[in-house]
């Protein structure tokens, strides 16, 4: 197994423009795990326009049923993952105060134990890379990295996230953010 040259866990990776026309065109992915066995991430800016309640057959609380569902990636679209805010616990957190979970039972238990509203995002599917694959894509310039922050994970306008992150990076990235989807139309 290839040992990653650098772990991207807890970072965002953004399409650099080299992924145009692919599944990951203009995507923003939070890397939740990256080690010698590979990487696991969730696309933050692909809303499914569905709720968790419309996607599962189990009964859910009213708040949980209204939770928006996002497409985490092309791998196992029937698999559930979620990111939720909670008190920091470094041994479990993707970011300080952000935990990743994978089962509806776990999600229901977490929500039931909360006394105050928490921020939550639910995902169908995920983005995955085999050992060394993400490192190879980085070397080819497919991705731009950015430190992750809770405001990006829980963005109120996920469809604008790719542009917003690039704008904040500034310089040439700001110019990339302003390019039209089809530069030929410019």
In sequence order, what DSSP letters do the residues of 170-184 get, joined into one string? -HHHHHHHHS-SSGG
Q: What is the pLDDT of residue 32?
A: 96
What is the dotted CATH code of the domain comprising 11-157? 3.40.1740.10
Q: Region 105-132: what's the mean pLDDT?
A: 89
DSSP letter for 4, please.
Answer: P
Summarised one tens digit per residue, pLDDT across range 134-185 is: 999 999 999 999 999 999 999 989 999 999 999 999 888 888 888 776 656 5
Q: What is the pLDDT of residue 165?
A: 96
Domain ranges, ordered by start, for the chain = 11-157
Express as a percent the part of the chain with pLDDT over 90: 67
Residue 36 has pLDDT above 60, yes or no: yes
18, 133, 134, 144, 145 from 138: Cα distances, Å: 11, 9, 6, 8, 9
Compute the distance between CA of residue 154 and CA of residue 17 in angstroms, rounded to an integer. 24
């Amino acid at each position: 197994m290839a040992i990653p040259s650098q772990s991207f866990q807890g970072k965002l990776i953004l399409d650099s423009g080299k992924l145009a026309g692919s599944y990951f065109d203009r995507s923003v992915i939070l890397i939740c795990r990256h080690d010698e066995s590979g990487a696991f991430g969730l696309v933050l800016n692909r809303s499914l326009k569905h709720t968790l309640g419309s996607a599962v057959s189990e009964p859910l609380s009213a708040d949980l049923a209204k939770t928006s569902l996002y497409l985490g990636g092309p791998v196992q679209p029937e698999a559930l993952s979620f990111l939720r805010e909670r008190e920091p616990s470094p041994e479990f957190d993707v970011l300080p105060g952000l935990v990743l979970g994978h089962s509806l039972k776990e999600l229901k238990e977490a929500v039931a134990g909360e006394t105050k509203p928490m921020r939550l995002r639910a995902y169908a599917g995920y983005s995955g890379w085999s050992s060394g694959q993400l490192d190879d894509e980085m070397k080819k310039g497919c991705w731009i990295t950015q430190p992750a922050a809770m405001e990006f994970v829980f963005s109120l306008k996920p469809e604008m996230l790719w542009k917003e992150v690039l704008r904040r990076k500034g310089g040439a990235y700001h110019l990339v953010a302003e390019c039209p989807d089809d530069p030929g139309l410019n």
